Structure 1
Amino acid sequence: MKKIALFAAMALVVAACGGGSDSGASLSSEEQAAVNEFATEFKASFDNGSDGISVSDDQAVCVGEKYVGALGVTRLEEIGAGSAEPDFTVPVDEARQMATLFLDCVPMRDMIISELSSGDTEMTEGQIACFSDAFTDDVLEEMLVVTFAGEDAAPDAQAALVGAMLSCFNA
């Protein structure tokens, strides 16, 4: 679960360094530069991990374009662009929007389940199936909201996921 929260945190950190718009066709030069920077750093944040999960260039660009399109370069700068310590307590509505946009571009649930199923883990097929059932897109979205807006944003999300995960280890 810490990896999931870390992925979400990385998304916010990288988003704070740049972004893009919903459509690459109508980007200003400033927005396009932000998308390019975002995509490069976002992809590197995944590819440098030892967890085996990576994002494609297209996924990284997609998130950047969606973040700038929805929030704008100025807002991304306000929450920490260029900062080593971005603001991880954006308002809940903004956190929910960021989580939704992130998941529109990056199939995190599928990627995580695929990694668990790769044979590099010591999980049984029953545990993987249980985890796959428990780890819904809605649960992932709530965990991203918590990561972006703080634990008070969805106080039951983390407990629900941890409970489900613990029950799966007995499967």
Structure 2
Amino acid sequence: MLELNRFIMQIPAGAALTTILDCSYPALPGVSPSCNIPPTFPKVPRGRVDYDKMFDFVTRPRFLELPPLPVQHTLPQIWKPQTYPTCQLHCFCAGRLQEWPSELPLEGTVQGTFTWAFAKAFAAGELRSTVAQQQQALEGITAQLKQHFQGVEQSPVLMLSQSASSSDSVFA
């Protein structure tokens, strides 16, 4: 995540970037002062999992335990970047940290819930949605999946840099 943050910091003001994070740690550090999360991978308490029943569920949560990685630097307890991206950054995230990313049998094959919903929402907007329209459609599709499939916990999250707006185009 720090490498992605470093890359984003190099994008000039006035440029637009849309990121889509469909992963087990779906949050980008240092997006803006209001979205300043630490660039670490803390263990997230997600409740007890009964592995014997995993095969009975239609949904399959994806599990990822990240091992400690050697780092070349040390981070303060609370990471505060000196600057934030000047570009228009729109970051669509699969869910909250406490939620499991899931895979579902959709359209004849098992697919990642967030990626499938993002593509459906974008197609519904005829490939020219604003960030707000995309997020609203994404939340609606995800809500329908939650009603249809027991066990879906994902709630899409949108993070915007200070220069970004929900009225921006998802992809210019």
- Choose between structure 1 and 2: higher strand proportion: 2
TM exceeding 0.5 = no
Larger relative contact order (Cα-Cα within 8 Å, sequence gap ≥ 6): 2
Report the TM-score when normalising by structure 2.
0.24
Which of the two has higher C-alpha Rg? 2
- Choose between structure 1 and 2: higher helix proportion: 1
Report the TM-score when normalising by structure 1.
0.24
